[in-house]
């Protein structure tokens, strides 16, 4: 059995924040693979499914980010899951937008959700780091991650979440390397044939078209980050 944890904050006001990309990933996995309905459990919301023949429990703590470890610790103890069988999906500002890395253990890099997990279950869980990019100024980071993804960013976010959902079965087997290679492959195929995306997109208003060439997507990522930073520093509301 594996425990997949998504980090985020509960409630509609936080649903599209960059800090909630862990919740988004679990929602996409559940939707793509026919999980059971979500239910209240372990100070969070849980669903269950089978991936590649392996039982997986999905958990979204509702304790708010800074207390995520309370929920995960309770689930781990009840389910008797080894720390090495826990995979935590979270936002990573030190990775470029759309990049994904997996590592076991390591530092928390100032991420309060990870810090809480380490305090409750130790440090040897697996981190599925989902890059959201850095605003370029350290002081801006809290505002940046606690704000909605820009519309242009859904050009890479939607296909990335699809790719994570399609490849999650490899994590269920503990094969992080295969998971990462399949995520990269699925993203490439999505860029080449965007009309074949199977999972439903995130609910949002004003979604941008999905037919831009891959080269333009990279430019949109950088442009969205720069525009939000410029607006924040000038005292204007960041563009959503």
Q: Report the catalytic residues.
A: 19
d(Cα 151, Cα 206) in Å, to the nearest integer? 7
- Helix residue ranges per DSSP H, the chain: 21-33, 68-79, 112-121, 141-145, 154-172, 176-192, 214-233
18 with 91: CB under 8 angstroms? yes
d(Cα 190, Cα 79) in Å, to the nearest integer? 36
186 DSSP β-pair partners: none
71 with 59: CB under 8 angstroms? yes
Residue 94 phi/psi, 5-degree rounding, is: -85, 5
* Nearest CA among 132, 136, 152, 140 for reference residue 235: 140
């Amino acid at each position: 059995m594996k425990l997949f944890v998504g980090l985020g904050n509960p409630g509609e006001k936080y649903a599209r924040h960059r800090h909630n990309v862990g919740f988004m990933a679990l929602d996409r996995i559940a939707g793509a693979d026919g999980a059971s309905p979500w239910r209240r459990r372990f100070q969070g919301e849980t669903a269950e499914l089978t991936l590649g023949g392996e039982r997986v429990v999905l958990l979204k703590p509702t304790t708010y980010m800074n207390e995520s470890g309370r929920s995960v610790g309770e689930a781990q103890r009840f389910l008797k899951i080894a720390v090495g069988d826990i995979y935590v999906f979270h936002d990573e500002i030190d990775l470029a937008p759309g990049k994904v890395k997996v590592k076991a253990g390591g530092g928390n890099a100032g991420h309060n959700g990870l810090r809480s997990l380490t305090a409750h279950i130790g440090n040897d869980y697996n981190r599925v780091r989902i890059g959201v990019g850095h605003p370029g100024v350290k002081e801006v980071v809290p505002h940046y991650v606690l704000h909605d993804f820009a519309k242009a960013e859904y050009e890479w976010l939607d296909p990335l979440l699809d790719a994570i959902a399609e490849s999650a079965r490899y994590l269920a087997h503990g094969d992080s390397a295969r998971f990462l290679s399949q995520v990269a492959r699925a993203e490439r195929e999505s860029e080449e044939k965007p009309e074949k995306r199977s999972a439903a997109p995130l609910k949002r208003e004003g979604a941008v078209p999905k037919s831009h060439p891959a080269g333009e997507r990279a430019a949109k990522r950088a442009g969205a980050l720069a525009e939000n930073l410029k607006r924040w520093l000038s005292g204007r509301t960041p563009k959503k």
